[in-house]
A and B are shown apart, each in its own frame.
Chain A
Amino acid sequence: MKKNICMYFQVHQPFRMRKYSVFEIGQNSDYFDNKKNEEVMKKVAAKCYIPTNKLLLDLIKKNNGHFKVAFSITGTAIEQFEQYAPKVLDLFKQLAATGSVEFLSETYYHSLSYIYSKNEFKHQVQMHKEKIKELFGQEPVIFRNTELIYNNELAHDVEEMGYKGIVAEGADHVLGWRSPNFVYKAKTTKNLKLLLKNYKLSDDIAFRFSQKSWEDHPLTVEKFANWVTNSPGETVNLFMDYETFGEHQWADTGIFQFLEHMPGKLLNMGVGFIKPSELLNFEVRDEVDVHNFVSWADVERDLSAWLGNKIQNSAISELYAFEEKIKALGDKKILEDWRKMTTSDHFYYMCTKWFNDGDVHKYFNPYDSPYEGFINMMNVLNDLSLRINRVQLKNNLENNSESKLNVNSEIGSQNITNSSINSLNSLNSIEDVSINSNVFDANKGFENVNVNDGLILENPSIRLQR
């Protein structure tokens, strides 16, 4: 059986949020830390994206098309390349042009939308598809969900959306005695091929590469190549974060030298590099039944990294509760802001698991504690709620035919005064305007609040009253 190796790299950067104080609610709608995002992007571009892309281009050329590689790049990363590091995007385009590079499909915003809103999920996937086509001229046939979150139902839905293959974590509790080095099929699908990550070999590179305490340190090309050739099965699926090269594993660990010499060595030993779509031609060996969601995160390989505690669940339900209203509004900026908040990273930061263990989560967390992350998001959601109300009010007024109102030109901007509302109220035509205000009135308690957590009383100068 010819041995193959299939490498896919995940490329993602979230739009990180800035520290947003409760006192800014209703005053400031700037949620994202552009400065920080720019800093991070430039840093990672210099340490990882640019050198690794260049290295891969080199390897592709040197090996005359025998070296192949795949990427899945999120929309949020692409936008930040465009804004802060266009060189990176250039290099990806060059990679695409070689013909040896395949792109996968995923949600544009790297979100957990599949779990909360299939509708939004479909939109984000479509957005991503279009972007990949626009930039790289490819139409992906393989899908991967955020953080490789996967189950039977997802597989079924993804097949219906037209994909031919789907990527998931080759977790032990999914495979049992079976090896991830074969192609499988999901229980609920007709033809969709299931490609499973060989987590042991992937993590050897992604996590253990520089750990001096690891018994197999240092990982040389020879050692690794031997492991690959000695693995059972037809393919070794190495799926990992692209930042492995230069960011998680710094240059001085020798990771670039490893990447540089590994393909040559493997090709010499008769191992073939294949794109994920080539795996579609392989025989399906078995059916895999995954009822509960599985992922590639943490030891548990489940959803607990993002949705394991109350504050995460609360925040995410609040967020998705806005979906309908926002989509009905027709305000592009609000929709975009909301979508940027669906990125899974924001919820990852609220994980309380690491507080006791001190592992991977902590390194990437911009907040001092998961609680601060939660408070931040809730504050932003409060402001979002106010913005939605303002736009709704504006829309309702504009739609009103009896517009002989002496409408205060301040409506729609930050300062809606009580007097202008009152003057509107006095006109009959306004009576059927429903001002859906989520206002906490100290005397009456919560009005129209259909969310779990109470919203904070906003600045009194813009309180809406019936």
Chain B
Amino acid sequence: MLGWEFPPVFSGGLGTACFGLTKGLANQGVQVTFVMPTGPENMKGEYVNLIVADKLIQKSNFKIRAVKSLLSPYLNEETYEEQLRISEKREDGVASLYGKNLFEEVYRFSQRVKLIAQNEDFDIIHAHDWLTYLAGIEAKKISGKPLVVHIHATEFDRTGGNSLNQYVYDLERKGFHAADRIFAVSNYTKSMVTRHYGVSPDKVTVVHNAVAFKETKNFNINPEDKIVLFLGRITLQKGPEYFLYAAKKVLEYDPTIKFMFAGSGDMEAKMIELAASLGIANKVLFAGFLKGEDVSRAYQMAEIYVMPSVSEPFGITPLEAMKVGTPVIISKQSGVSEVINHVLKVDFWDVDDIAAKILALIHYRSLHSELVEHGSFEVSKFSWNIPAKKCIDVYHQVLSGN
């Protein structure tokens, strides 16, 4: 399995999904070797045989200096260069000597995976998202084993359909066509793939994500303020401006409500400015990127979790919120809205509707408790064993020469 995020080294839903999926696979007897481009020294996988490409190469006969990579699924060219510039100033030099651009990193990873593929024993190659497709193709070529690719997001989702990066699109397309089978995290994503990439729908299997069931601490938070939460990367894809416009409308009617951004991203500064220009800066809090227990704390502290995504292939975060008893308002333009009912659904652009539903949830207590009750029951039915099983079925089909 090829990925680039795996807890604790992750920044978004992809890492969570990979972790959950591998656990589900392990539960059903599948042995997973998970290869990531980079990671900390002592990184080990509990359910998987974790290989960090950089480290492995270090141990072999090849004299390639291990370098920390800036590879991240969420970077685009610009932000990558920005990160590069920042990191070059740091002492431990998180700079890539090998390529001053992201795409060279992708290539580098693919070469390493090619080497790894020659030495590892496996039946199937399962590659997650575009950054690994090149690697997956190399692995398939050198080993002759079948390749399945897993789409967690397409370039269309990330950019909202505007100014796509041609290179990324080409890579995605290449990957889809080289793969024997494709997994998409929702019908929504599947339709994007079939529509924009010339892929036959028969080749694509929809495997909805799930949510992990680790026990979270009950923080017994009872804030005096009612807080409406946005948790996720503050980037175009996640619709942060719609959140703020809705906040403005809500505050006109009930100035006691507070809004919170938990996360960071390329639009963070812009959102701070927007909040100020809308005149609501004192009602909008920016918590920054949250990790570990803080995430759960944030959900528990919130009255409502809002996910106004412009284009969300799946969206695990609403499930996480519902798990701890927080009702959610989600965008209909998301994969998760296909499989969950006890939520309030909105069109991401319909700021009035978002505001109306926020007000309704806060002021009609019976609605709030009804959604919490039904929501936590509904979300308890999600288990990573289910998508894992679907993957296994497809593995069997592929291996039997389907």
- The distance in angstroms between the C-alpha atoms of A379 and B355, with both chains bound, is 13
Measured CB to CB, the closest approach of chain B to A50, in angstroms, equals 37
Q: Is the CB of B360 within 8 A of A375?
A: yes
> What is the chain B residue whose CB lies nearest that of A317?
B366
1/0 contact string of B326-364 vs chain A (CB within 8 Å): 000000000000000110110000001101110110011
Measured CB to CB, the closest approach of chain B to A396, in angstroms, equals 28
- The distance in angstroms between the C-alpha atoms of A96 and B95, with both chains bound, is 90
Q: Is B122 an interface residue (CB 8 A)?
A: no
Measured CB to CB, the closest approach of chain A to B266, in angstroms, equals 33
Contacts of B364 in A (CB 8 A): 311, 314, 374-375, 378, 453-454
1/0 contact string of B245-273 vs chain A (CB within 8 Å): 00000000111100000000000000000
Q: Is A442 an interface residue (CB 8 A)?
A: yes
Contacts of B86 in A (CB 8 A): none
Interface set, chain A 229-272, CB cutoff 8 A to B: none
Q: Is B55 an interface residue (CB 8 A)?
A: no
Q: Is B365 an interface residue (CB 8 A)?
A: yes
Q: Is the CB of A454 within 8 A of B365?
A: yes
Q: Is B145 an interface residue (CB 8 A)?
A: no
> What is the chain A residue whose CB lies nearest that of B342?
A355
Q: Is the CB of A310 within 8 A of B369?
A: yes
Q: Is the CB of B366 within 8 A of A375?
A: no
Contacts of A314 in B (CB 8 A): 364-367
Q: A21-B352, A442-B255 are in contact. Are A375 and B357 (CB under 8 A)?
A: yes
- The distance in angstroms between the C-alpha atoms of A379 and B363, with both chains bound, is 11
Contacts of B357 in A (CB 8 A): 375
> What is the chain B residue whose CB lies nearest that of A370?
B370
Q: A355-B341, A456-B254, A457-B254 are in contact. Are A371 and B363 (CB under 8 A)?
A: no
Q: A378-B364, A452-B365 are in contact. Are A457 and B370 (CB under 8 A)?
A: no
Q: Is A23 an interface residue (CB 8 A)?
A: yes
Q: Is the CB of A455 within 8 A of B363?
A: yes
Q: Is A313 an interface residue (CB 8 A)?
A: yes
Complex partner residue of B370 from A21, A311, A356, CB under 8 angstroms: A311
Chain A residues with a Cβ closer than 8 Å to the other chain, count: 28
Q: Is B374 an interface residue (CB 8 A)?
A: yes
- The distance in angstroms between the C-alpha atoms of A368 and B346, with both chains bound, is 10
Q: Is B388 an interface residue (CB 8 A)?
A: no
Q: Is the CB of A310 within 8 A of B370?
A: yes
Contacts of A21 in B (CB 8 A): 352-353, 356
Contacts of A53 in B (CB 8 A): none
Q: Is A369 an interface residue (CB 8 A)?
A: yes
Q: Is the CB of B367 within 8 A of A375?
A: yes
Q: Is the CB of A452 within 8 A of B366?
A: yes
Q: Is the CB of A310 within 8 A of B366?
A: yes
Complex partner residue of A313 from B353, B365, B366, CB under 8 angstroms: B366
Q: Is the CB of B365 within 8 A of A22?
A: no
Q: Is A400 an interface residue (CB 8 A)?
A: no
A selection of 26 A-B contacts at a CB cut-off of 8 Å is A21-B356, A309-B370, A310-B366, A310-B369, A310-B373, A311-B367, A314-B364, A314-B367, A315-B366, A352-B370, A352-B374, A355-B341, A368-B345, A369-B344, A371-B344, A371-B367, A375-B356, A375-B357, A375-B367, A378-B360, A379-B356, A452-B365, A452-B366, A456-B253, A456-B254, A456-B359
State the B residues within 8 Å of A (CB): 253-256, 341-342, 344-345, 352-353, 355-357, 359-360, 363-367, 369-371, 373-374, 378
State the A residues within 8 Å of B (CB): 21-23, 309-311, 313-315, 352, 355-356, 368-369, 371-372, 374-375, 378-379, 440, 442, 452-457
In order of increasing CB-CB distance, the 8 nearest A-B pairs are A314-B366, A310-B366, A22-B356, A375-B360, A453-B364, A355-B341, A454-B363, A310-B370
